[in-house]
Amino acid sequence: MADGHTITIERGARHIRVVHGGQVLAETDRALVLRETGCPVRYYIPVEDVRLDLLSPSETHTHCPFKGTASYWSLPDAADLVWAYPDPKPDVAEIKDHLCFYEVEVS
C-alpha cells in the first residue's frame, strides 16, 4: 500500500458477537480480522452470519482509497451501524460478502 499504509487480513480464531439493544445482530466463528494503519482492528463477518432482516439499507456511501466504496445499513435507533464493501479493491478482495459493525463483542 502507498506511503507506509498497510492493511492485513487474517482469519479470526475468536468468537464474534454483535448485540445492539439486547438483540443479537450477528454471531460467528468465521470473522476476518482487518488491521489497517491508523485505524482500530475491525472484524468482518460473513453475510450468512448477520441478521440482515433486522437491518435497513442506508443512503450513506463512503469511499476509502485502499478498500473502495462502502455501503451502509442501519437500525431504527442506530444509523449506519454496519458497512460492507460490495466491490472491494483487489488488495482486500477477501472482505467481499462480509459486513463490519462499529460495536462487537470478542470472546
CATH code that applies to domain 2-106: 2.170.150.40
Q: One digit per residue, pLDDT tens: the chain, 107 residues?
A: 557 899 999 999 999 999 999 999 999 999 999 999 999 999 999 999 999 999 999 999 999 999 999 999 999 999 999 999 999 999 999 999 999 998 888 87
- Residue 95, judged by CB atoms within 10 A of its CB (0-12, 13-18, 19+), counts as buried
Q: Report the distance separating Cα 107 and Cα 89, nearest Å.
A: 30
